[in-house]
Each structure stands twice: as structure tokens, then as C-alpha cells.
């Protein structure tokens, strides 16, 4: 059986699949050529991340496909229900990259409260000639400890964010349409840990009380945060989005950054990927990363081995 990992897969995933007797193809096939490649090579399994889309037309045109796998959490680039209605297995790895995304959230948070993103830009330009001026400009940072973080979307990633926040000494509040409360286990060394139960609140309370807001929701038809929502927030709030592009109205966000209503934003995802708006990219109060939330070596290893395990379980069982 053949597996096409069109957006790549870790070597640990390749090894696990090969050991189970699968042929793994890691050639990157352009979207418009994907149908022909799958049919010509009789591909059984198509693995994607966020770059490749698997829509109804591709599913209909490729009868050899038995499994579609998404390395990561969100599956908005796959017509999941349609694929399943056609008898295909659709799998993902919802837990594998949660801690990686959560750590990136805090990279943006720490960078934002200490102006690291902007200081790095300007130190390389003027650090030798305007050192004292830059020291004064970036000398008014704030601490995260004791502040309130509001988590919108309290699934696996949101809970990993909560773990780090509790460890940092932050107050954690959360909102989720489908989760009433969740137990958060914060582990330390030598087997020590604490358990904290967090009850979710209406999102309006998050806007009202949070010093920092981070989103962990799937793709939406409407903005989760737009002009009205920003107006309801505390003055000087910081906003992080490492979820999906399009859940924040970027025009409203830029206006709020300009007015000072929002003190900074950390964005890993954008409305117009892979060509984000220039006003967002150039804004001095925005910390930027190119959709790398799950892009750690550890997460990719977990994703690869989890996908391999699911594929082997599905297809080896069906052939018995």
C-alpha cells in the first residue's frame, strides 16, 4: 500500500509506516496535479497539513484513496463529512501539537510585554547609534505574573495554555461553547503536581476582565473578535491568535493597535495566508510568526508516529 505525505511527515512516521510494509512517498505534488498523481500511483493514503486541500472533487476523482490524514488539529481544509460518507477514513492528531502551540502563545506574550519583537527590529538598525534612546523606549515593560489571561476555546490547546499560565502565576479564565469546566493538571519535577478546576464563563466576561486574550477555536464563518468585541475589552489588552486566520477582524485589530486600545498582538495565522496584509506585517505592535504553532521537532515526531499508528490500525485490520 502507498502513502503520499504531500505536506511532509517526520522520519519517525516514515520509519513506522515502512516497518508496517507501506511505501511512503514524500514528493510534494502541486494541488492541480494531485488528482493525476494519486491515480497514476494508486495511492491509498493521503496525508496533508494545512497547505493541501482535499475537497469533494478530489475525493470523487481518486477511487484508490482509503484514508485521508491531517497532521494536526483543524481539518477545515478537508471535506470531512463528504469523505466519510464515501467510506473513507479521515484521521487527525488533535493532541500531538497542543503543547507546541501553547508554548508559542507564551513566546508571543513574553515578546509583547517586553517589546522583544520591535526591539529586535530596531537594535539591528540603530543599536550602535541610539542605544540610550532604545533603552528608554523599551524600558516600560510589564510582567505576566499576577495578570489575567482569557482563553477563548478550552479544548486541548487552550488547556495547555492554562497549564503554562498557572505555572507562571497568572489568573486563568476561559470560555467555551461546549465545555463547562475542565480539570488542569500542572506537573512539576519529582512527580509533584497540582490540580486546578476551571469553570468556563461567557465570552463577554473574558472581554471584560482579561489583560491578555488568546484564541483556540476552529475556523469560523464570522469573526470571533471584531470591532464590537474589541471595544468591550480592557484598555491596553494584548491579543494572541495561534488558532486560525479569519477569527480576528484584522482591520479592526490594526485600528485598535493604532488607537492604543490594544497594546500589542501576536499573530501566527492570518486572514490572507500565504500573503498577509502589509499593514499587519509592518505594524510595530504586532509580533509575527508564519503559522508555525505545531512546528517543533517534538510535535512533528508525535504527529508522524500517531498518524502511522492510526493508518496501520485501520488498513491492517481491514485486510485481515
Q: What is the three-state SS of 14-54? A: HHHHHHCCCEEECCCCCHHHHHHHHHHHCCCEEEECCCCCE
* 237, 311: one domain: no
Residues 200 and 127 in one domain: yes
Beta strands in 165-310 (DSSP E): 171-175, 181-187, 193-199, 212-215, 237-241, 262-267, 286-288
C-alpha grid cell for residue 210? Answer: 482579561
Distance of CA 159 to the CA centre of its chain: 13
Kindly name the residue from 283, 291, 302, 306 that is annotated as catalytic: 291
Distance CA 137, CA 119 (A): 9
> In this structure, are 70 and 143 located in the same domain?
no
318 — pLDDT class (breaks 50, 70, 90): low
Burial of 152 (0-12, 13-18, 19+ CB in 10 A): buried
Q: What pLDDT does residue 320 have?
A: 46
pTM recorded for the entire structure: 0.90
Residue 69 has pLDDT above 80, yes or no: yes
If one counts the domains in the chain, the total is 2
Judgement on whether residues 146 and 180 belong to the same structural domain of the protein: yes
Check which CATH number belongs to the domain holding 18 and give it.
3.40.50.720
Q: Quick one: 277 and 305 in the same domain? A: no
Indicate the angle between helix axes 98-113 and 156-168, nearest 10 degrees.
Answer: 50
Judge residue 119's burial from the number of C-beta atoms within 10 Å of its C-beta, 0-12 exposed, 13-18 middle, 19 or more buried. Answer: middle
Among 243, 145, 143, 155, CA closest to 198: 155
Q: Is the pLDDT of residue 145 over 50?
A: yes
pLDDT digit string (tens) for 159-213? 999 999 999 999 999 999 999 999 999 999 999 999 999 999 999 999 999 999 9
d(CA 253, CA 261): 9
Mark whether 106 and 27 lie in a shared domain.
Answer: no
Calculate Rg over the CA atoms of the chain: 22
Residue 22 has pLDDT above 70, yes or no: yes
Residue 160 CA from chain centroid, whole number: 12
User: What ranges in 73-191 are assigned the alpha helix state H?
Assistant: 80-85, 98-113, 116-126, 131-137, 156-168
Assess whether pLDDT exceeds 60 at residue 90. yes
Active site residue 302: no
Do 311 and 69 meet the contact criterion of CB atoms below 8 Å apart? yes
Q: 253-300, pLDDT tens digit by residue? A: 999 999 999 999 999 999 999 999 999 999 999 999 999 999 999 999
Catalytic residue (choose from 108, 156, 244, 283): 244
Catalytic annotation present for 89: no
**pLDDT-above-70 percentage for the chain:** 99
Same domain for 270 and 136? yes
Distance separating alpha carbons of residues 26 and 183, to the nearest angstrom:
40
Strand order across the beta sheet in which 262-267 lies = 171-175, 148-152, 212-215, 237-241, 262-267, 286-288
**Statement to judge: residues 125 and 234 lie in one domain:** yes
75 vs 90: CA distance, rounded Å: 9
Q: Bigger pLDDT: 316 or 45? A: 45
Shared domain check, 239 and 153: yes
Q: What is the mean pLDDT of the chain?
A: 96
Range of the domain at 12: 2-94+297-319
Pair (22, 149) in one structural domain: no
Upstream peptide bond of 94 is cis (omega within 30 degrees of 0): no
Q: 14 with 129, same domain?
A: no
Q: What is the pLDDT of residues 212-229, one digit of tens each?
A: 999 999 988 999 999 999
- Three cell numbers written together for 245: 486566520
pLDDT at res. 74: 82
Annotated catalytic, 273? yes
Residues 203 and 131 in one domain: yes
Burial class (CB in 10 A: 0-12, 13-18, 19+), 216: buried
Summarize pLDDT for 104-138 with one digit per residue, the tens: 999 999 999 999 999 999 999 999 999 999 999 99
Amino acid at each position: 500500500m502507498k502513502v503520499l505525505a504531500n505536506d511532509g511527515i517526520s522520519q519517525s512516521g516514515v520509519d513506522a509506516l515502512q516497518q508496517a510494509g507501506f511505501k511512503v512517498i514524500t514528493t510534494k505534488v502541486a494541488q492541480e496535479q494531485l488528482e493525476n498523481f494519486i491515480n497514476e500511483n494508486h495511492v491509498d493514503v493521503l496525508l496533508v497539513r494545512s497547505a493541501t486541500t482535499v475537497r469533494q472533487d478530489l475525493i470523487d476523482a481518486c477511487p484508490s484513496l482509503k484514508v485521508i490524514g491531517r497532521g494536526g488539529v483543524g481539518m477545515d481544509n478537508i471535506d470531512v463529512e463528504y469523505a466519510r460518507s464515501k467510506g473513507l477514513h479521515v484521521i487527525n492528531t488533535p493532541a500531538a501539537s497542543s503543547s507546541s502551540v501553547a508554548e508559542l502563545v507564551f513566546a508571543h506574550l513574553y515578546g509583547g510585554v517586553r517589546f522583544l519583537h520591535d526591539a529586535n527590529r530596531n537594535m539591528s538598525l540603530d543599536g550602535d547609534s541610539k542605544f540610550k534612546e532604545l533603552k528608554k523606549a523599551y524600558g516600560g515593560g510589564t510582567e505576566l505574573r499576577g495578570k489575567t489571561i482569557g482563553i477563548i476555546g478550552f479544548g486541548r490547546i487552550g488547556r495547555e495554555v492554562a497549564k503554562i499560565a498557572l505555572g507562571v502565576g497568572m489568573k486563568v479564565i476561559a470560555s467555551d461553547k461546549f465545555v463547562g469546566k475542565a480539570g488542569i493538571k500542572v506537573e512539576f519535577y519529582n512527580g509533584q503536581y497540582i490540580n486546578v478546576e476551571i469553570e468556563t464563563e461567557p465570552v463577554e466576561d473574558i472581554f471584560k476582565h482579561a489583560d491578555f486574550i488568546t484564541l483556540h477555536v476552529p475556523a469560523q464563518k464570522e469573526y470571533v473578535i471584531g470591532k464590537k468585541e474589541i471595544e468591550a475589552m480592557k484598555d491596553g489588552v494584548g491579543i494572541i491568535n495561534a488558532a486560525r486566520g479569519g477569527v480576528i477582524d484584522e482591520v479592526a485589530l490594526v485600528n485598535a493597535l493604532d488607537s492604543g486600545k490594544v497594546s500589542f498582538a501576536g499573530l501566527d495565522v492570518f486572514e490572507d495566508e500565504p500573503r498577509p496584509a502589509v499593514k499587519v506585517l509592518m505594524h510595530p505592535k504586532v509580533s509575527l510568526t508564519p503559522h508555525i504553532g505545531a512546528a517543533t521537532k517534538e510535535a512533528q515526531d508525535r504527529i508522524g508516529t500517531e498518524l502511522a499508528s492510526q493508518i496501520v490500525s485501520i488498513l491492517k485490520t481491514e485486510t485481515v
